[in-house]
Structure 1
């Protein structure tokens, strides 16, 4: 069968691989669609310390159950499913307190083990989520990015009437915007340095947008908030140098959600944190957010296909990687059709 395999940093191709076996507790899924994520690009660049090569990437995907292993009762052959990529041990401290997404033995499908950029993939059956009636496999392949948004918003604990500032209008920033609106946060400010992304943010319901290089972001945000600042700030730009600005823009008792994995140090002015009693929270992957996102999609409160800028065949995937490598500003979500 065909798979998109990264053999080593910057060495990637469509390859012929063996059909994986199905162990007890696993299901074999025939992949229909998969989305390319920024973290896939990090793996291709060799910037992910958790990856061992060769690796079949892909953690945003949906398909149809082809076979099930011994003891599987959660799903049956023929079920349409999407896949939560987070695999946890269930016994460590984070798992015991209900935070399996930071399990001490964490594995992520498409990172620690082979993922969805292959025609057939074996995954733990417990990680499969049957799709609501009427939700297409293409939309279902994009559930995972929305779980990232749901997770960071949950970590920031919004209160009724809170306003939100989103740094970065890439795919994750746009999913945070959409998820916030679906959860009743009406006033969302989005800042980015690419005009096209800000246009999309406005189309998706941003209350206000600010150009990060042409405008004085801090002055504009303070004008919009009457000098109070924002109770909620989400860092979807993942640029460590922006943290001091976030601290200044946060209102007293504000919460800042950080998503970036950059190893570069950030300047943290403790005075800003203490005098306003700010809360800085990290957010990694998702903590069992698939049911919530699927329900919102089924209700029509989230439309993931608005994120898709390119639909390409599996054979075109190497070219899609080249485009994202050299012209990332031309794409939002690139959706790969593998077996639908």
Structure 2
């Protein structure tokens, strides 16, 4: 079978892989759709410190069960499923305290281990989530939305609070949906008017184009500042902006990570007595919450998905995203297409 492989920074091509068979405790999944993630783009650009080459990317998965390994009885062939793509050690502090998403030995599909941008994969049965009641395409949106939902969980966002979401890419839109589900007022910020329009149509209460004075615009809308700022860009400017604009005693959550060290005026942390929290990956409950949310918002996928390409078109689609990242919110690869 064919797979998309990032051979080295700037070079992705189709390669041949052997068709896998499930071992004991595993499930074989025929892949229908895989989404390109921001980590795939950084890997393609040579900016992902966690990846080694060559690497098959892909961990935003929609598929159907093809076969069951010995001892697996909870699934049936033909079920539509997604996958929790994080593999944790089970013994570190994060794992033993109920936060395996932050495992110090974490291996994510498509990053530290081979991903799903191919015809069939095998994974432990415990990583498989059956999903019904959603279009098969939209199952590939569950994992990236779950990352956003987890950031909302980390923020402790309460009904009636105001949150500023910095960045309306895929993860930022997941934050938006999670924050709306939590009953918050959402202010979405991005450089792209097109992405802000998507945010508005998904339910954002206000939108701000980041080409202007974001701090002034947020202050005009909130007074002293928002209760929570969630950063989903991973840039120095937005890292600093989050701390600057959040209300005194507010909370800042970082999902993206900047590619270089950032110099803060740490006095701000103390004088404003703010909480700064990181957010990594997602928990099973976040996946379940996203599934419920997408079922309640059946048009969300149509707004979020920018392009669907075949596997043959996947290298060119990745190169196009690299050349103009602002033009796409979510690219899906249809592994069933010729």
Q: Which TM-score tier does this pair reach, normalised by the shorter chain? A: over 0.9
RMSD (Å), alpha carbons: 1.7
Deviation readout 1:117-139 (Å, 9 max, x if unpaired):
1000111211110012x211101
Name the structure 1 match of 2:125.
125
Q: Secondary structure at the match of 2:289?
A: helix
Please say if 1:328 is aligned against 2:325. yes
Please say if 1:216 is aligned against 2:210. no
- Matches for 1:13-32 after TM superposition, within 5 Å: 13-32=13-32
Task: Report the TM-score when normalising by structure 1.
Answer: 0.94
Query: How far is 1:51 from its partner?
Result: 2.0
Which residue of the other structure, out of 227, 239, 244, is the alignment partner of 1:243? 239
Name the structure 2 match of 1:182.
181
Q: Secondary structure at the match of 1:253?
A: coil
Name the structure 2 match of 1:162.
161
* Contact persistence 1:241–1:266 (CA under 8 A): no
Cα distance in 2 for residues equivalent to 1:130 and 1:299:
18
Cα distance in 1 for residues equivalent to 2:121 and 2:83:
11
Query: How far is 1:169 from its partner?
Result: 1.6
* Contact persistence 1:243–1:267 (CA under 8 A): no
Name the structure 1 match of 2:102.
102
Please say if 1:337 is aligned against 2:304. no
Unaligned regions of 5+ residues in structure 1, if any?
none
Query: How far is 1:302 from its partner?
Result: 7.6
* Contact persistence 1:243–1:268 (CA under 8 A): no
Quickly say closer, same or farther: Cα 1:105–1:245, change in 2 above 3 A: closer
Please say if 1:198 is aligned against 2:199. no
Name the structure 1 match of 2:143.
144
Query: How far is 1:50 from its partner?
Result: 2.4
Cα distance in 1 for residues equivalent to 2:240 and 2:334:
41
Cα distance in 1 for residues equivalent to 2:280 and 2:115:
18
Name the structure 1 match of 2:38.
38
Name the structure 2 match of 1:307.
304
Query: How far is 1:23 from its partner?
Result: 2.3
| Deviation larger for 65-74 or 305-314 | 65-74
* Structure 1 runs (4+) greater than 4 angstroms displaced: none
Cα distance in 2 for residues equivalent to 1:120 and 1:242:
39
Q: Secondary structure at the match of 1:296?
A: helix
Q: Secondary structure at the match of 1:336?
A: strand
Cα distance in 2 for residues equivalent to 1:262 and 1:21:
39
Query: How far is 1:180 from its partner?
Result: 1.3
Q: Secondary structure at the match of 1:312?
A: strand
Cα distance in 2 for residues equivalent to 1:315 and 1:125:
29
Name the structure 2 match of 1:4.
4
Q: Secondary structure at the match of 1:145?
A: helix
Please say if 1:278 is aligned against 2:274. yes
Cα distance in 2 for residues equivalent to 1:148 and 1:266:
23
Query: How far is 1:199 from its partner?
Result: 2.1
Unaligned regions of 5+ residues in structure 2, if any?
none
Please say if 1:268 is aligned against 2:264. yes
Deviation readout 1:215-251 (Å, 9 max, x if unpaired):
211111111112x201110101211233332222111
Deviation readout 1:14-45 (Å, 9 max, x if unpaired):
12211124222211110011111111111122
Q: Secondary structure at the match of 1:141?
A: helix
* Contact persistence 1:34–1:60 (CA under 8 A): yes
